[in-house]
Amino acid sequence: MDHTILVVEDEKVQLDSIAGFLTKLGYRVLKSSLPVAALDMARDQAIDIVLSDFKMPGMTGVELLGALKQMNPEIDVIIMTAYGSVESATEAMKLGAIDYITKPIDLHQLKVMIHHTLERKVLVSENQLLRQQLSERFSFDGIVSQSSAMSQVLNIAGRVASSNATVLITGETGTGKELIAQAVHFASPRRDKPFVAVNCAALSEHLLESELFGHEKGSFTGADRQRKGRFETAEGGTLFIDEVGEIPLSIQVKLLRVLQEKSFERVGSSLSVATNVRIVAATNRDLEAMVRDGKFREDFYYRLNVVAIRIPPLRERREDIAPLVDLFVQRIAAENGKRITGVSREAMDKLMKYAWPGNVREFENVVQQSVVLCRNEIIITEDLPLRVHELHSEQEFFVTMTGTFLEKVKAYEKSLIVAALHEAGNVQTRAAELLGIGERHLRYKLKKYGMK
Ligand SMILES: Nc1ncnc2c1ncn2[C@@H]1O[C@H](COP(=O)(O)OP(=O)(O)OP(=O)(O)O)[C@@H](O)[C@H]1O
Ligand SMILES: [Mg+2]
């Protein structure tokens, strides 16, 4: 192991004890009790991680962080803060610290943190290398990745699979988040162990907690026997936390602890259970915005977002449409005992132009409907659902439009409303439901856009 860690701490005893601990773990360790001297060291030597105190004479940890990052953005800085001063930790994270640890330092936690940071570093540099390579080294059967955006997604998924790093998959509804989560699992050394999914949107706060961690008999009314949680079911494998943006703050704290300490407690028990589970989380929400609004814990967000995989919407990768047609037509025709060889050129044209607000899932449903309706060996325009071929003017407008961001957003919103109204057979209550907004809100939008 030839990783170098620089420890900056003005208290001599602390400095020696931390440096001693890290040396024993096999790292090359540099010490400095003065931030200015630390800067000099970082200038002269290759350093992977700087572990710095927050309050020091001459320069605060945050100032040191800024100077280090300016010198070499690749250096990862972990800040040590006094217990309870979360603001300073948050400030440090905003300025680019990779992590923070509170004093008194828990050496086990420090060890895990350093390990994670180095693991992530290796991944990041591998990813950079990967972007330069065009060859597809990992093939995931049954996942269409004709577009460069999607093949990049698979590349990252393939690379990250072998590690234990936490993965955060983001993307609109139906883009294939769960599919990629499974791909990560089955390409990982954990493939023979369980892949367990938990959908956080479907469960109340109380149920979610016992679903995740299990509970002891009698821990709440109705808990008539001990029950294992998903963490225990997934032991040795992968836990897929779906809709992670829906997790209430109180449970975010608990999950954060599991990520940090690799152990948890069942509801109604104080016994700590060790866990070896790889976490893959997914969301269609903007977690960074939620952090800003105080709806998602910043520290939890950073723990989840060790490796980020963003799946672009289907309308941004239209090269995938033709191979998706092939895949789904073949599969669904076989399931329905039909012989269908493809789609007409005109129908293909419609499929290419439609905006696909529901992404690949919507696409699959459309193929499904068309296969059922199809009377020949080829799917024609008339076999496609109305919304796909009637919406042309709106869709083209959205797809091809140039203009300001706000104009595009409005155009997109309009096309979504039209699509929802079609889907709902013009029943406004139903359309509002599909869009996830209130009926009054929908009526307001219709009026605003002069739609009838
Ligand atoms: N690239 C792809 N190739 C083949 N099939 C795909 C691809 N992407 C998605 N699918 C299929 O589309 C459907 C939706 O995918 P999935 O359930 O993974 O989406 P999701 O992002 O989790 O959606 P949601 O946000 O609604 O939960 C699944 O049947 C999946 O197999
Ligand atoms: Mg999903």
Cβ pair 106, 262 in contact under 8 A: no
Q: Tens of pLDDT along 408-421?
A: 788 788 888 988 88
**Three-state DSSP class for residue 5:** strand
Distance CA 230, CA 235 (A): 8
Q: Tens of pLDDT along 304-318?
A: 999 999 999 999 999
- Residue type at 133 in one-letter notation: Q
pLDDT score, position 136: 35
Asked if residue 143 has its Cβ within 6 Å of ligand 1, the reply is: yes
Dihedral pair phi/psi, residue 52, rounded to 5°: -125, 140
Q: What's this model's pTM, rounded to 2 decimal places?
A: 0.63
Cβ pair 283, 170 in contact under 8 A: yes
User: Per-residue pLDDT for 392 more than 60?
Assistant: no
Least confident of 43-57, 72-86, 200-214: 72-86
Output the DSSP codes for 291-348: HHTTSS-HHHHHHHTTEEEEPPPGGG-GGGHHHHHHHHHHHHHHHTT----EE-HHHH
Ligand 1 atom closest to Cα of 181? 18
Ligand 1 atom closest to Cα of 242? 27
Asked if residue 359 has its Cβ within 6 Å of ligand 1, the reply is: no
User: Per-residue pLDDT for 244 more than 50?
Assistant: yes
Return the C-alpha torsion angle 105, 111, 117, 120, nearest 10.
Answer: -150
Q: Tens of pLDDT along 25-75?
A: 999 999 999 999 999 999 888 899 999 998 888 888 889 999 998 888 888
Pairing of strands 307-310, 167-170: parallel
Q: What is the mean pLDDT of residues 271-282?
A: 96
Cβ pair 3, 49 in contact under 8 A: yes
CA of 177 to the centre of ligand 2 (A): 6
List CB-based neighbours of ion ligand 2 within 5 Å.
178
Confidence of residue 130 (pLDDT cuts 50, 70, 90): low
Tell me whether the omega of the peptide bond preceding residue 104 falls within 30 degrees of 0, making it cis. yes
Asked if residue 313 has its Cβ within 6 Å of ligand 1, the reply is: no
Return the C-alpha torsion angle 118, 121, 122, 124, nearest 10.
Answer: 160
Which residues, other chains included, contact 315 with Cβ-Cβ below 8 Å and sequence gap of 6+?
355, 356, 399
Asked if residue 178 has its Cβ within 6 Å of ligand 1, the reply is: yes
Asked if residue 179 has its Cβ within 6 Å of ligand 1, the reply is: yes
Mean per-residue pLDDT of the chain: 88
Cβ pair 264, 228 in contact under 8 A: no
User: Per-residue pLDDT for 362 more than 50?
Assistant: yes
Dihedral pair phi/psi, residue 281, rounded to 5°: -115, 155
pLDDT score, position 412: 80
Among 179, 240, 324, 359, the mutation site with the greatest number of ligand 1 atoms within 8 A of its Cβ is 179
Least confident of 182-191, 275-284, 402-411, 441-450: 402-411
Ligand 1 atom closest to Cα of 311? 21
Distance CA 130, CA 156 (A): 8
Cβ pair 399, 391 in contact under 8 A: no
Distance CA 344, CA 352 (A): 12
Dihedral pair phi/psi, residue 404, rounded to 5°: -75, 165
Counting ligands in written order, the one closest to the CA of 179 is 1
pLDDT score, position 258: 94
Ligand 1 atom closest to Cα of 360? 12
- Which residue segments constitute the domains of the chain, with CATH numbers given? 4-105 (3.40.50.2300), 133-312 (3.40.50.300), 313-390 (1.10.8.60), 393-452 (1.10.10.60)
Asked if residue 176 has its Cβ within 6 Å of ligand 1, the reply is: yes
